[in-house]
Each structure stands twice: as C-alpha cells, then as structure tokens.
Structure 1
C-alpha cells in the first residue's frame, strides 16, 4: 500500500522539476534565512558565526564532503527539521517558514524523485549552485 502511494505521488507530481529553476528565489531565501550564520557566500563567515559555540559549516563544500555528490536529501531534512543538526542544535528549523501549497520534485543522485515545497527546492538549488570543487581538482 505504501509503495503504491509513493508511486502515485511521484506520478501526480509530474516531471522532475528542473533544478535550474528557482535559483534567484533560492538565493533570496538563503540571504534571508541563512546568511546571518553561514555568510552571504555560504562559507560560514556570517556575522553571527563568531558568537556561536560551534562554527557553522561551510556550505560550499557539501558535495566535496560527500564524495562529489550533493547530498540533496540530507540537506532538505536538515533545513526543514526532519533531521536534527547534531553539530549545533541551536539551528533554527525553517520547515514551517518554507511550507506552501506548491510542490516540486527534485531528482536525488540515485534518480529517485523527492517531493519538497517549491521554496525548499529553490533553496536547495541555490546551495547546489555554490558548491566548490574538491581540493586538488579544477
């Protein structure tokens, strides 16, 4: 039954949302919700970072720290609060702020679709766009 529901939802969602969509919206959301801690450039040097017990992570190396693959599902779960951020439990959970009636389907590295709110999809798309290559590659 659960599998049938998942397949139905994936079909109802339509084609996978082009992850190039929403880049500007994602940047605006990042600057509004995230830049105070993670910095305007997502490299963890925001004005609040120096006051925090633990430095916020550099979000420009998420893919590099995950063997070159951007961890879409983990990022979505941390932003919307489904997966607590153990390194700094004081990270605000933005899931309620990003809830809306419009949903998009993102493609996970496995090719499997993942439905998220349009705002969360835009924020993830922006974070993907700021990834730096792993050290030692050009």
Structure 2
C-alpha cells in the first residue's frame, strides 16, 4: 500500500510540474504573436526600436530590451503597463492599446516587492513578455 501511495504521489507531482511548465510556454508564444502583430512594426521583432516603421518616427521607438538596464536592473513593470495601456499624460507617439488589452479576467501583478495589484490579463501578459526581451 505504501508503494502505491508513493507512486501515485510521484505521478501527481510530475503531472503538476508538467502543467506548470507547459502553460507559461503557451502564454509566451501567445504574447509573442501579439507583440509581432501590434508592436514589431515600430519596436522591431526583437524589441530594439528598429522596426520598419521606426525610420520616420521622431522620437524613435524605445528599445524595449534595455528597460531594466536603464532602471537600475529592475524591470519597470508599472511604467510598462501604463505605457501600453495609455495611462500616460502628455503627447505620445505610441497608440493606446487599452481597449484591446482589456478583457473580463484580472490577474495579480507584483508591482513592487511583496505588493500585488490587479490588472487585465492581456496587459500583464504583454508586460511580462516584454520582460523576457531584457538584455544586460
């Protein structure tokens, strides 16, 4: 009986780990597709600000790969979400994507160490995808 218990537990733990690792990869591909569709024309496919539409833009699109490096090594999650969603005052060249990113589901986003804020799932997902583009 004890062997069956341990075997069953090992199977459940393996299934749990597989489900944890598969979902983030699916989400990453989904947000990579959104990035390509909505952001790459200006920011480039790698997020460096060198997309085909960037040549005639003033100011040039931001190099999204350097956000953490330009912020003391900390990814500026709140500023990124604000920029994407259009919560910024003053003139801006970047279109607002708030209407596209809003859906019925909210997720909790760590906006500072130990502080969590609800945000639309797509907005949080796009910001998290941009986090994956960071270079030292």
Where does residue 125 of structure 1 map in the other structure?
A: 128
Number of residue pairs matched by the alignment:
113
Where does residue 54 of structure 2 map in the other structure?
A: 49
Where does residue 30 of structure 1 map in the other structure?
A: 35
CA 1:93 to 1:104, structure 2 compared with 1: closer, same or farther past 3 Å?
same
Q: Could you state the TM-score of these two structures normalised by the residue count of structure 2? A: 0.77
CA contact (8 A) 1:25 1:122 kept: no
State whether structure 2 residue 110 is matched by structure 1 residue 107. Answer: yes
Q: CA deviation at 1:97?
A: 1.0
Q: CA deviation at 1:85?
A: 6.8
* Counterpart Cα distance in 2 of 1:91 and 1:48: 12
* Counterpart Cα distance in 2 of 1:81 and 1:24: 24
* Counterpart Cα distance in 2 of 1:51 and 1:85: 21
Task: Identify unmatched segments of 5+ residues in structure 2.
Answer: 1-19
CA 1:26 to 1:84, structure 2 compared with 1: closer, same or farther past 3 Å?
farther
Q: Secondary structure at the match of 2:112?
A: coil
* Counterpart Cα distance in 2 of 1:115 and 1:85: 25
